[in-house]
Structure formats: structure tokens, C-alpha cells
A and B are shown apart, each in its own frame.
Chain A
């Protein structure tokens, strides 16, 4: 069997194998209620990874997602009182704006995305510290329930969180697969110079991709903040690694062009399963970061398209 032929199915195979292994070791894993709980728990991470997929799909990276979410937890907490549900709009606009700015800096000012997004992340951190006064803030419980209580209700037995995640996944999938913008993303990811030569406005597409990444990070931050009923400049720390792992393990390579949001769904599920396996094996939280770091390296090594690196890996 040719390795290149198996590659697209590798994430599926990994997921199914892991689920079976964990299930055999711990049959209670297959308990539906527990499974739904596990998955609902990871919705903010999934949304963040969905956004990150766009940045990686065009061959870039967004290292600002974690700080972006931090900033939004603070924005959501501070402005919940005056704006109510309208705060969601503010959060989304902030995320979109910050992402677009990162994209602008990357494409028009020629700052590599890992530096521009890292730097913009610190600008976001600055904003979060300013708005929060460097304290942990908490939301007013009644206000929160009035505006966002519906997020944690269930519709026909399915938690609304999962429905939101599903809708966002559909939106991202639609953007990627059913619009010209999505086709343009693929063109840019597959070969930027060719995309330029065929007359695409590559800069605009790239800026939009980063903006979408920022926007999804903001939505993730908003959900996280509602979930924990508060905001803090460090609340979402630890999300960055898992978000990158989810995208790359799902099979969207660092070089971009293939994979996509459905892959990220699989990747996130793999992360969930690995996590619950570690809980079962009593690998405590302190060691999980190490495991995910190694998983990340393995995932990149397996998925990256080396023919695109033209022999030079910087």
C-alpha cells in the first residue's frame, strides 16, 4: 500500500483505533451521556480550532488565538452589563478586526504570520490587561443567565452548545467547500505564486482567512467566558497547543492546501479521546502537555507536504 494513498484516511483510522482501544480498556467510555458530556466540554476548543484551520489551510499559522480568546473573555465580562446579548456582536467584531489586522501585517507588510500573530497576541493581551485592570472579573449571574443561559439548555436532548458548534462547523464547511472564497483559499494554500498568476486577489483572501481565524477565536472566548462566568487576561491559556494539535492531527498539514474544517472535527475528537484516555490511565494534567507536544510533532511529521518545501526547511 502506498503511504500517500492512506494519508487522507489516516485521521479517521487514528480516531477509530483510539476509540476502540479506549473502549476496550474502559467499556464505560461508550456510555452515551458521558460521551456527550466529554464532547460538549471541548466545544470552545473546537471552535477555536475551526478558525485556526483557515489560517493553516492557506499555509500560515495563527498564534494569537489564545490571547484573542483571553481578550474576549474580558470584553464579554465587562460589557455584559450595558449591552446584554449585544456583547456577542462586539466580541465577534473585535475578533474579526484583530484577525484582519494580523492578516494585513502578514500580507502587506511581509511579516511572517508566526511573528505577526505572536506580536498581535501581545497587543491583545495588553488590551485584556487594560480592560480587566489585571484582575479576574466575574459576570453577574442573573445577567448571564438572562442573556446567555440558553447556551446551556438542551434542545431535543442535545446540548445547545453542541448545536452551536454544529452550526459553526456548517458555516465554516460551507465557506470552504461551497463558495468561491473557499476555492480561492485552496488555491492560495496549494501554491501562492500560481494563485497570484491566475489573477486572484491573494492578499484579500489571506487577510480574510486570518480575520475568520480571529473571529472564531473570539466566539470560542465568548463561550468560554459564559461557561466559567467570568473573564481574565489568562483564562484561556493552554488552548493554543490543543488548537494547533486538533488542526494538524485532523490532517490539515502545516503547508496548507489540503484538509479543512471536517478534518479539524476529527482532529478535535482525537484530542478528546486522547484526553479521556489519559484520565483513565491516570496520567495527570501536568503530563498531558508533554504528551500533546509529542503528538503534535508526530502529526506534523506525518502530514506535512515536503514537496512544497522545495528542499529547504527553515
Chain B
């Protein structure tokens, strides 16, 4: 105890960077979950109202948990998609365009083929996923074959996607009113809407891909050291293209859930997904440099982002605070996850 000059090697072993990155997000989530009810309690305490901490909280209730889960579900799918890309050390900024295009094409196909899941219209769901895959594939091809850095290739593809969605809709909103499809939102099992379980199922699929398939391991291999992966005979280009394609599929699932939630497909369906999903992935502890993290980190990250957004509304903070907070959060998360000894400069 009195030994002030603690052995740095030992303290390093106790809290290595990887372990901190791994557990800090979960800790942050727990702190937030206890913090917002505290503010509620504080307010009632000042006004001398009866308020038992946590039990009387509006934030810390099943109803609000369902609300958070519901707003998290589409974002989770998009964020899981981009997680694979970030694990490879690349980035995908095309989600806003891809989500909009998938949502719009899904809505058009769904309505054209009958307008209810019980007819052939169910085919619109796999079609939307194929569209997502195709857009991701093109994105990957542009990035890998033209050798354009992924952030720029995907940003440009995102603009193309948004333009395409606008072209398809002409600025109109398309309503999807099939009660069976909308049961994603309206039907609740154990207080939570069905879409939460759908998102959970796809999260498990993503986890399976990440940990139990060669493709998943290859993502980590590419992210951990591309030259090494290449030298050990991995077709890095193919892995990258497949990663972007897979991400596209998850973006499409996110689009389907987003349409299920509000019952409308439009060009704006994809709005805000880019920043929220990147924030979620990074805040969850998947390092931008690649190789570290995974889909469970992303779940924690998405929950952190949505808990912050929801909690701020519950304790009555104005809406403008959210954007700034998320912005600072991203910066803080990237700073924390960066090993400064190993980085000489960034562009």
C-alpha cells in the first residue's frame, strides 16, 4: 500500500488497454441507467415529493425500457452491419442512402405484390435484403477495386443512395399499413414489441457470423494486420467485399424495422442513421483501428446512445443537447480506445 512507485508492468497487467476498452462501455451504461433516475429523484426531492429512488422512476420502468428497446432496434441492425466493417479497420458511411433505398424498394414491392404478408408481398422482405446486399457489394467493389479509402467511397455511395431513393419516390411518402407487418410494432410479447425480438434474433445471427464462421474470423484477421493476413494467404479483397455486402444486408434489416416502426417509407427514412450507428459502434468499444470489439459491444453502444437520448428527454433537457453530447461522446470514445504509443499520426 505504502509503495508509491508501483510496478508499472504489474498495473499494466491488471488493467491492460484491451480490458478497459472491453468493460468501460458496460460500466458507462450502468452508470447512465442509475444516473437518470437520480436526476428524477433529485427533482422530486427538491420539491419535497415522495419518491423512492428507482422504484418511482419514470425512466427506470418497463414501459420506458420498451420505448428504449424500440428506438434501438433499427439502429442496432445498422450498427451491427457497420461493426463488421469497423472490425476490418475500414468504415462504411453509406447507411443513410442504403437504408432509404431498401425501405423505399421494400414499400413499393410490398404494395405492388398485394400489400399484405399473406400474399406474395412477403417476397418484398428478401428483395429488400438483396437490394441491401447489392448496394453493399457495389460499395465494396468501388472501395476495393478502385482503391478509394472506404470512408470516401461509402460516403459517395451514400449520396448516390439518397439520390436514388429520392428519384424512386419523387419525394413522396409511401405508407405500409398491413396490420400483420405493423405487428412488428403493435404486437407485444412480455411488454416488448416484436421488432425487439427480431433485432435480437439478427444480433444472434451476427454473433454467430462473427465468432463461428471463417468469414467472421477473417474480419478480425484483416483488422488486426492486413499485411499479415495477406501474407498468410487470405484473399483480403474478397473478405472486404463480402464484409460490405454483409453490412448491406443488415442495413436492409434496419430499414425494414424502421419502416415497421413508423409505417412509412421515404427518402428521410435513412436520416440520422449514419451518426447514430457510428457513435454506437465506437462508444461500444469497437476500435476504429480494427481488430478489437464485436457485435455485443455494439449492443452496449446502441443502448448507451439511446439511453442518453431517452434519459435526456425524461429529465427534461432540451433537444439540442443530444447532438452535441453524442458528438463529444464519439470523440471521447475514440480517444479512450486509441493506443497513443502505437499511432504516429492520423489523417
Decide if A290 touches B148 in the complex (CB within 8 Å): no
| Distance, CA A126 to CA B325, complexed state (A) | 8
A-B contact pairs, 21 of them (CB 8 A): A107-B345, A109-B338, A110-B334, A112-B346, A114-B151, A115-B331, A119-B330, A126-B322, A129-B320, A134-B319, A134-B320, A196-B345, A293-B157, A293-B160, A293-B163, A297-B146, A301-B147, A309-B149, A313-B143, A314-B89, A314-B226
Q: Which of A193, A256, A300 is the one whose CB lies under 8 Å from B345? A: A193
Q: Which residue of B lies closest to A254 (CB)?
A: B152
CB distance from B279 to the nearest CB of A (A): 8
| Distance, CA A159 to CA B5, complexed state (A) | 70
A202 at the interface (CB under 8 A from B): yes
Q: Which of A111, A125, A192, A254 is the one whose CB lies under 8 Å from B334? A: A111
Decide yes or no: A125 and B323 within 8 Å by CB, A105-B331, A304-B147, A312-B227 being known contacts.
yes
B46 at the interface (CB under 8 A from A): no
| Distance, CA A115 to CA B335, complexed state (A) | 11
Interface of chain A residues 276 through 312 with chain B (CB within 8 A) = 286-294, 296-297, 300-301, 304, 306, 309, 311-312
Decide if B335 touches A306 in the complex (CB within 8 Å): no
| Distance, CA A50 to CA B318, complexed state (A) | 35
CB distance from B332 to the nearest CB of A (A): 9
B347 at the interface (CB under 8 A from A): yes
| Distance, CA A112 to CA B287, complexed state (A) | 12
**Residues of B participating in the A interface, judged by any CB pair closer than 8 Å:** 89-91, 93, 142-144, 146-153, 155-160, 162-164, 166-167, 170-171, 226-227, 275, 278, 282, 288, 290, 318-328, 330-331, 334-335, 338, 340, 343-347
Decide if A290 touches B340 in the complex (CB within 8 Å): no
CB distance from A141 to the nearest CB of B (A): 28
Q: Which residues on the A side are within 8 Å of B93 (C-beta)?
A: 114
A121 at the interface (CB under 8 A from B): yes
Q: Which residues on the A side are within 8 Å of B288 (C-beta)?
A: 112, 115
Decide if A289 touches B327 in the complex (CB within 8 Å): no
| Distance, CA A109 to CA B160, complexed state (A) | 32
Decide yes or no: A296 and B159 within 8 Å by CB, A59-B347, A122-B323 being known contacts.
yes
Q: Which residues on the B side are within 8 Å of A241 (C-beta)?
A: 159
| Distance, CA A59 to CA B227, complexed state (A) | 22
Q: Which residues on the B side are within 8 Å of A254 (C-beta)?
A: 148-149, 152
Q: Which residue of B lies closest to A59 (CB)?
A: B347
A130 at the interface (CB under 8 A from B): yes
CB distance from B339 to the nearest CB of A (A): 9
Decide if B146 touches A111 in the complex (CB within 8 Å): no
User: How would you classify the secondary structure of chain B's contact residues: helix, strand, loop or mixed?
Assistant: helix
CB distance from A31 to the nearest CB of B (A): 30
| Distance, CA A110 to CA B170, complexed state (A) | 42
Q: Which residues on the A side are within 8 Å of B155 (C-beta)?
A: 244
Decide yes or no: A109 and B142 within 8 Å by CB, A286-B171, A297-B156 being known contacts.
no
**Residues of A participating in the B interface, judged by any CB pair closer than 8 Å:** 58-61, 105-107, 109-116, 118-123, 125-127, 129-130, 134, 192-193, 196, 202, 241, 244, 254, 256, 286-294, 296-297, 300-301, 304, 306, 309, 311-314
Decide if B327 touches A119 in the complex (CB within 8 Å): yes
| Distance, CA A244 to CA B155, complexed state (A) | 11
Q: Which residues on the B side are within 8 Å of A289 (C-beta)?
A: 159-160, 162-163, 166
Q: Which residues on the B side are within 8 Å of A127 (C-beta)?
A: 320, 324
Decide yes or no: A110 and B347 within 8 Å by CB, A115-B330, A123-B327, A290-B160 being known contacts.
no
Q: Which residues on the A side are within 8 Å of B344 (C-beta)?
A: 193
CB distance from A249 to the nearest CB of B (A): 12
Decide if A121 touches B319 in the complex (CB within 8 Å): no
Q: Which of A107, A116, A130, A292 is the one whose CB lies under 8 Å from B331? A: A116
If A112-B334, A123-B327, A193-B345 are given as contacts, then 17 extra A-B residue pairs at C-beta distance below 8 Å, sorted by A number, are: A107-B345, A112-B288, A114-B91, A116-B334, A123-B323, A126-B322, A126-B327, A286-B166, A289-B163, A290-B159, A290-B160, A290-B164, A290-B166, A300-B156, A301-B146, A311-B227, A312-B226
| Distance, CA A244 to CA B151, complexed state (A) | 13
CB distance from A212 to the nearest CB of B (A): 17
Decide yes or no: A301 and B148 within 8 Å by CB, A192-B345, A293-B157, A293-B159 being known contacts.
yes
Decide if B275 touches A122 in the complex (CB within 8 Å): yes
Q: Which of A115, A123, A300 is the one whose CB lies under 8 Å from B324? A: A123
Decide yes or no: A111 and B323 within 8 Å by CB, A287-B167, A309-B147 being known contacts.
no
Q: Which residues on the B side are within 8 Å of A120 (C-beta)?
A: 327, 331
Q: Please give me the 4 A-B residue pairs with the lowest Cβ-Cβ distance, nearest first.
A: A126-B324, A290-B163, A293-B160, A289-B163
Q: Which residue of B lies closest to A202 (CB)?
A: B345
Decide if A130 touches B318 in the complex (CB within 8 Å): yes
| Distance, CA A113 to CA B149, complexed state (A) | 13
Q: Which residues on the A side are within 8 Å of B164 (C-beta)?
A: 290
Decide if A314 touches B150 in the complex (CB within 8 Å): yes
Q: Which of A113, A122, A256, A297 is the one whose CB lies under 8 Å from B346? A: A113
CB distance from A108 to the nearest CB of B (A): 10
Q: Which of B143, B147, B322, B338 is the one whose CB lies under 8 Å from A110? A: B338
CB distance from A294 to the nearest CB of B (A): 6
Q: Which residues on the B side are within 8 Å of A58 (C-beta)?
A: 347
| Distance, CA A129 to CA B320, complexed state (A) | 6
Decide if A294 touches B167 in the complex (CB within 8 Å): no
Q: Which of B290, B323, B331 is the one whose CB lies under 8 Å from A126? A: B323
